[in-house]
Structure 1
């Protein structure tokens, strides 16, 4: 595990999982929302984002958390040696977006740029939920099915599997040391 892509629908806990995975493995963490958006939620120019993304991809070790853009997601998944696809039931994603909206007024969400507009960003997340579920999630599922023969693939389908994933990673990390 040297190049890890963590992906899935919005509100699935990708940032929390990625941060914890980075702490366990020592791999550098790159959060796409923080690369794609400046403080306050202003989007950086697309070319600047793509350039930064490419600079990360050519390094030897990384965890990349998030979607970024349709143009960069497939490049990243192809370069990764490990894929972590968070594919929880839609209602869990919806609930976690709601929970992030409520708690975001008291504590900034994990992995978001500073001073992000919580309400506006949450409304965007609600719109993205169904679109991702309908159009992108089936493509992700097909991609990981094909990639299983050449990459390590973790297809997380329940909240219980998140805990199981960390136990597995902790045990693998102990063995490799």
Structure 2
């Protein structure tokens, strides 16, 4: 595990898992939201993002948490040696997004960009969840299966599997 891509639906625990992996492995964590957004919450321009993303991908090791656009996602999938897909049921994802909003009253969510509104982000997460079935589907799982011979792939489908993965891989 040197180049690790962690991805899945909004609110699935990607940031928490990635932070734990980075802590244990010493591999630098790059949360996409921190690359996509400026400190004031505005989006960075695409050229700047692509340059930063490309520099990360060309480094010796990394953990990248998030999705972004399909082009950059596909580049990560190609370069990564380890893929961790958190595929929780939709009802769980909707609940975790709501829970993140409620908890944000007291503490900034894990991996949340400085200056970004948690409320606006929550609305965006709900919009993304509604669109997710168009991408996170059987065709995507088949693509993962096709590349599984050359990469380590973990598919996590429940909170208990997520907890077990952390227990067994993040020591």
Correspondence for 2:163: 163
**Unaligned runs of at least 5 residues, structure 1:** 172-177
Work out whether residues 20 and 170 of structure 2, in 8 Å CA contact, stay in contact via their aligned partners in 1: no
Provide the aligned length of Structure 1 versus Structure 2: 170
Q: CA deviation at 1:145?
A: 1.2
Q: Normalising by the residue count of structure 2, what TM-score does the alignment of the two structures yield?
A: 0.95
Matched, 1:135 2:134: yes
SS in 2 for 1:40: coil
Root-mean-square deviation (Å)? 1.2
| Aligned structure 1 segments of 4 or more residues deviating by more than 3 angstroms | none
1 or 2, which has the higher helix percentage? Answer: 1
Cα distance in structure 1, aligned partners of 2:33 and 2:79:
19
Correspondence for 2:121: 121
Q: CA deviation at 1:168?
A: 2.4
Work out whether residues 40 and 117 of structure 1, in 8 Å CA contact, stay in contact via their aligned partners in 2: no
Q: Normalising by the residue count of structure 1, what TM-score does the alignment of the two structures yield?
A: 0.92
CA-to-aligned-CA distance 1:36-69 (integer Å, 9 cap, x gap): 0112321000111011000000001100000121
Cα distance in structure 2, aligned partners of 1:89 and 1:40:
33
**Unaligned runs of at least 5 residues, structure 2:** none
Work out whether residues 5 and 82 of structure 1, in 8 Å CA contact, stay in contact via their aligned partners in 2: yes
Cα distance in structure 2, aligned partners of 1:140 and 1:111:
25
